[in-house]
Amino acid sequence: MVQRQAIVAVLLRADRFLAIRRGPAVPRPGYWQPLSGRIEPGETQREAVVREVREEVGLTVVPLAKVWESETDDGRFRLHWWTARAESGDVVPEPGEVGEARWVTPEEFLLLDPVFEGDREFFERILPGL
């Protein structure tokens, strides 16, 4: 099986980041997570961050840094975690992909249910050291 490449955008605004609940048109609907999406052929990770955020929630972002790599729990995707800033603008969720969106603290994210184990690991282990 060839592993696909995807980005995870940890979208920051003040001391919060954007968590989304997966919408009805995507696998594993109902899970809470940071924004994510596959990298298109010929696209850089940085370009994928900008495009995916714009498509899913209508925000224009500035990618900051790649901060981690992980795999999805089924091993199908290698995830490239990026921090990005969204200073202004309203979140406009794409209804098929995003069921709900909220600005939360890392502590609040860990109380959401359900979340993926890899996302939990990021907020418990990686983010505090950034």
Residues 6+ apart with CB under 8 A from 93: 20, 23, 56, 57, 58, 99, 100, 101
- Give the global pTM: 0.95
Q: pLDDT by residue (tens digit) across 87-129? A: 889 999 999 999 999 999 999 999 999 999 999 999 999 999 8
User: Which domain covers residue 80, as residue numbers?
Assistant: 4-129
Domains: count for the chain: 1
**CATH number for 26:** 3.90.79.10
The alpha carbons of the chain give a radius of gyration, in whole angstroms, of: 13
24 near 8, Cβ under 8 Å? no
